[in-house]
Amino acid sequence: MKKSLSMKEIAELAGVSVATISRVMNQNGGYSTETEEKVRSAIKKYNYVPNSAAKSLRTNRAPIVGIIVPDILNEYYSRLVFELQMAFFEEGYLTMICNTNESSTLEEKTVQALIAQSVSGLILISGVNYQKRSLATGIPTAYIDRRPQDDERGIVYVESDNVQGGYMATKELIECGCTRIAFITDMLGESSKIGRFKGYCNALNEADIPIDPSLTMRVQNVAIDDAFQVVSEALEKGITFDGIMCTTDMLAIGATMASEAAGYKVPEEMKITGFDDVSATTLFRPSITTVHQNTDAMTKLVAELLIDLIDGKKLKEQDYTIPVTLMKRASTRGE
Amino acid sequence: MKKSLSMKEIAELAGVSVATISRVMNQNGGYSTETEEKVRSAIKKYNYVPNSAAKSLRTNRAPIVGIIVPDILNEYYSRLVFELQMAFFEEGYLTMICNTNESSTLEEKTVQALIAQSVSGLILISGVNYQKRSLATGIPTAYIDRRPQDDERGIVYVESDNVQGGYMATKELIECGCTRIAFITDMLGESSKIGRFKGYCNALNEADIPIDPSLTMRVQNVAIDDAFQVVSEALEKGITFDGIMCTTDMLAIGATMASEAAGYKVPEEMKITGFDDVSATTLFRPSITTVHQNTDAMTKLVAELLIDLIDGKKLKEQDYTIPVTLMKRASTRGE
DNA sequence: TTCATTTGCGTAATCGTTTACATTTTATCA
DNA sequence: TGATAAAATGTAAACGATTACGCAAATGAA
């Protein structure tokens, strides 16, 4: 284990003081071009790498941002994480990506651990307001995709226009001739899902279709099997509907499978929409009509906001909503 | 910004010295149960969180392991990363997951950055031997999935039995009646792909089928479109074959689409196998016969090995191969 | 030339831990 | 009871950076 040289040693080798090395490293000025040259060549020659623990200790901040994600196996979230990482790397930040598996206890532990690492900032996909719980006080924090339930507009938040997305998906079903439209979601606790439900209601109201509570179905996980089961049961029980709006693509795929298994042709006798536009929507037959979230815009924006926060800038706006796009495919319109 | 208390302050509040606090925190012994109780309650009461930068500075090691992954949007890799993260979290390590997008310059930068963070160890999915390049000297390192090309058995490495996997997939095609079997892969530079090719050759040899170089096709990326194109072209050119062994599932899906587009029925007239067993293989119709990698065993093992390395233990064995399983599905056998 | 500024650089305190060593307290035993 | 060993606790020096402060030399104005 060849330990790397410290600033002090480099200083001796370069014939200057540690202060000068530090100044050159951080380009703080207060040195001549001549000295700078001397220092730079010593740094290069001896391959000096500053000790970031010492730096963090002194400056009370590491060039790292923590990212809390509930389920990295979900393609939508892994896309978010991927883009976040790229955005931060370009700005000189490393990211610690932490998957919480939708477990709040694991999430809390992880946030603790990240804080202990004195990360510069936190990106959260979470329904918990840590600032309020005074866990993350003082650490710049921005939320994306999910808004904490107990938010009082104190947080920085970026989301898709879920209401609009829910509205567009439902309207597509109506336009394609559906008159009884079911709604499937996992827990309605997440703000994004609530928005989608609101959009669903808006579209129905606009078309003067009454909202039938028996057509709202809940599911434990956003998994194909869960949707399959709940749709199969509803159909068996004799509940009738000719369209299903699902709050995720996996639910839509499960719903399609169940409909077909029960003898309904999709899209002829049953039309279905998803949400997120993951790759499976075009791999699966019929391809799934879905709402595309502009993750690229979302992640770039939230990264920018967090960095502004870290740099101590005041934000004009704390709350952002990004437009979505409807992708019309076979599950509503056929090939 | 409410700064959290330091050990010194806690010490005063608890009426003991910093050394005692430290001893209790690290359970180093040398304190009475009574004192321990006093310390613990103060820690809890004032919500003390140790500063990890200071700790790292002193101990010269952060409880973090870096993970380099080439493409986190690839479900196989995201599964690997997910499991790695869980395994390390359980052992008290946080992970810094860094996606390199298959770019070697980005990869190098990232490794540099991780080292500067004084991570305790590195998990690499990479074809580059950083120890040899003396970039990562002294940092415990383990490779998974890809073996560095210039390896001289100096590294710790865990992989699937790719040769066996390639053999099983090809043999399945032969058993199902194929006589001219194509092979599609991306760059053959990666050790895993080379192994799969070797398995393919082994199976053909065993069945006395000559290896026809015109049946080996290369593709730029492991993307559906790339496979679609190369298979379509081959078919147009009049190259004949009745089976395709693909080195990833996405290639298999693309190959299937191309075959069907060219008028071949899968599996009746064209049989296809994939590799990795991602979820799309069962979503896609026909479902894809594929080789399942035991990622759970791989990640648990590599995490254990790296931690042993970090703890300074000697490893009995440096090189591990994990068995794979063939998942027989519709693309070779029909429904 | 003289005094005031500015510039360049070094000294040393500091961040919050760990830990070797010193010191005090308690336990053990003849 | 004393002497001695063992256990519990405290003191202070690191770790490697940043930075306030001070001093010397260079520059400029008069």
DSSP label of A246: E
Query: Is B26 within a domain?
Result: yes
What's the confidence (pLDDT) of residue B137?
A: 62
Taking each helix axis from N to C end, the angle separating A52-59 and B52-59, rounded to the nearest 10 degrees, works out to: 150
Whether residue B116 and residue A52 make contact (CB cut-off 8 A), yes or no, is yes
Please compute the mean of the pLDDT values over residues B244-270 and round it to a whole number: 97
- Residue B1 predicted with pLDDT over 60: no
What's the confidence (pLDDT) of residue A135?
A: 60
What's the confidence (pLDDT) of residue B49?
A: 87
**Based on the domain organization, do A176 and A258 belong to the same domain?**
yes
Query: Is A79 within a domain?
Result: yes
Other beta carbons within 10 angstroms of residue B214's beta carbon come to: 11
Q: Per residue in B250-277, is it b (16+ CB within 10 Å) or e — as a string?
A: bbbbbbbbbbeeeebebbeebbbbbbbb
A166 contacts A245 by C-beta, under 8 angstroms: yes
- State whether residue A62 is helix, strand or coil: strand
Measured CA to CA, the distance from residue B229 to residue B233 in angstroms comes to 6
- Residue A200 predicted with pLDDT over 70: yes
- Whose structure tokens read 């997008």? B101
**The pair of three-digit structure tokens given for residue B291, joined into one six-digit string:** 């080789």
Query: Is A2 within a domain?
Result: no
**Based on the domain organization, do A22 and A74 belong to the same domain?**
no
Hey, what amino acid is at B21?
A: I
Nearest to A324 by CA among A214, A179, A165: A165
Disruptive mutation site among A71, A107, A120, A279 for chain B (greatest number of B CBs within 10 Å): A279
Which nucleotides of chain C have an atom under 7 angstroms from any protein CB? Answer: 7-12, 14-20
**Based on the domain organization, do B44 and B113 belong to the same domain?**
no
- Residue B245 predicted with pLDDT over 90: yes
Under the banding of pLDDT at 50, 70 and 90, the label for residue A92 is confident
B110 contacts A85 by C-beta, under 8 angstroms: no
**Candidate from B53, B94, B110 with C-beta closest to A56:** B53
**The pair of three-digit structure tokens given for residue B198, joined into one six-digit string:** 């070797």
- What is the nearest CA distance from B179 to chain A, expressed in angstroms? 29
The protein residues having a beta carbon less than 7 Å from any atom of strand D are A 3, 6-8, 18-19, 21-23, 25-26, 28, 50-51, 54-55, 57-59; B 15-20, 23, 29-32, 34-35, 54, 57-58, 60
A283 contacts A254 by C-beta, under 8 angstroms: no
**Based on the domain organization, do A274 and A166 belong to the same domain?**
yes
- What is the nearest CA distance from B56 to chain A, expressed in angstroms? 6
Please compute the mean of the pLDDT values over residues B17-30 and round it to a whole number: 93
Whether residue A64 and residue B96 make contact (CB cut-off 8 A), yes or no, is yes
- Residue A70 predicted with pLDDT over 70: yes
**Based on the domain organization, do A89 and A132 belong to the same domain?**
yes
Whether residue A115 and residue B57 make contact (CB cut-off 8 A), yes or no, is no
Measured CA to CA, the distance from residue A193 to residue A173 in angstroms comes to 18
Lowest-confidence pick of A317-326, B137-146, B203-212, B314-323: B137-146
pLDDT digit string, tens, across residues A147-199: 988 766 778 999 999 999 999 999 999 999 999 999 999 987 889 999 999 99
A158 contacts A298 by C-beta, under 8 angstroms: yes
Count of alpha carbons within 13 angstroms of residue B217, beta-carbon side: 28
DSSP label of B80: H
**Based on the domain organization, do A75 and A168 belong to the same domain?**
no
Contact residues, A window 139-198, toward B, CB-based 8 Å cutoff: none
Query: Is A175 within a domain?
Result: yes
Lowest-confidence pick of A45-49, A215-219, A271-275, B131-135: B131-135
**Based on the domain organization, do A177 and A141 belong to the same domain?**
no
Query: Could you check whether the bond before residue B70 is cis, i.e. omega within 30 degrees of 0?
Result: no
Q: pTM for the whole thing? A: 0.88
- Residue B136 predicted with pLDDT over 60: no
pLDDT digit string, tens, across residues B35-55: 999 999 999 999 898 998 999
Task: Count how many domains chain A has.
Answer: 3
**Based on the domain organization, do B224 and B283 belong to the same domain?**
yes
| Domain range for A93 | 56-159+295-322
Beta-carbon contacts of A242 under 8 Å, excluding residues fewer than 6 positions away, are: A177, A178, A179, A180, A181, A269, A270, A271
Which of A16, A31, A50 terminates a domain? The answer is: A50
- Residue A33 predicted with pLDDT over 90: yes
**Residue B180 phi, psi dihedral angles, 5° rounding:** -125, 110
- Residue A106 predicted with pLDDT over 90: no
Distance from chain centroid for Cα A196: 16
Question: Mean pLDDT score of chain A, rounded to an integer?
Answer: 92
pLDDT digit string, tens, across residues B310-327: 887 889 999 999 999 999
Please compute the mean of the pLDDT values over residues A260-267 and round it to a whole number: 96
**Residue A290 phi, psi dihedral angles, 5° rounding:** -155, 170
Instruction: Tell whether A46 is within 8 A of chain B (Cβ).
Output: no
- What is the nearest CA distance from A234 to chain B, expressed in angstroms? 23
CATH of the domain at B103: 3.40.50.2300
DSSP label of B262: T
Other beta carbons within 10 angstroms of residue B325's beta carbon come to: 13
Instruction: Tell whether B92 is within 8 A of chain A (Cβ).
Output: no
For residues B48 and B290, the model is more confident at B290
Question: Mean pLDDT score of chain B, rounded to an integer?
Answer: 92
**Based on the domain organization, do A183 and A62 belong to the same domain?**
no
Distances (CA, A) of B314 to A17, B140, B266: 41, 12, 51
Measured CA to CA, the distance from residue B189 to residue B163 in angstroms comes to 15
**Candidate from A118, A224, A285 with C-beta closest to B53:** A118
**Based on the domain organization, do A78 and A108 belong to the same domain?**
yes
DSSP label of B139: S
Query: Is B2 within a domain?
Result: no
- State whether residue A322 is helix, strand or coil: strand
Please compute the mean of the pLDDT values over residues B105-122 and round it to a whole number: 84
- Whose structure tokens read 């049989």? B271
Please compute the mean of the pLDDT values over residues B72-82 and round it to a whole number: 95
- Residue A1 predicted with pLDDT over 50: no
**Based on the domain organization, do A286 and A193 belong to the same domain?**
yes
Say how many Å lie between the first and final Cα of chain A, rounded: 63
Which of B33, B50, B67 terminates a domain? The answer is: B50
Percent of chain B whose predicted confidence (pLDDT) is above 70: 96
Query: CA–C1' distance B165–C10 (Å)?
Result: 65
Query: Is A88 within a domain?
Result: yes
Distance from chain centroid for Cα B229: 28
Nearest to B51 by CA among A58, A108, A96: A58
Taking each helix axis from N to C end, the angle separating A249-261 and A224-236, rounded to the nearest 10 degrees, works out to: 40
What's the confidence (pLDDT) of residue B281?
A: 96
Query: Is A80 within a domain?
Result: yes
**Based on the domain organization, do A303 and A239 belong to the same domain?**
no
Please compute the mean of the pLDDT values over residues A132-156 and round it to a whole number: 79
Query: Is B1 within a domain?
Result: no
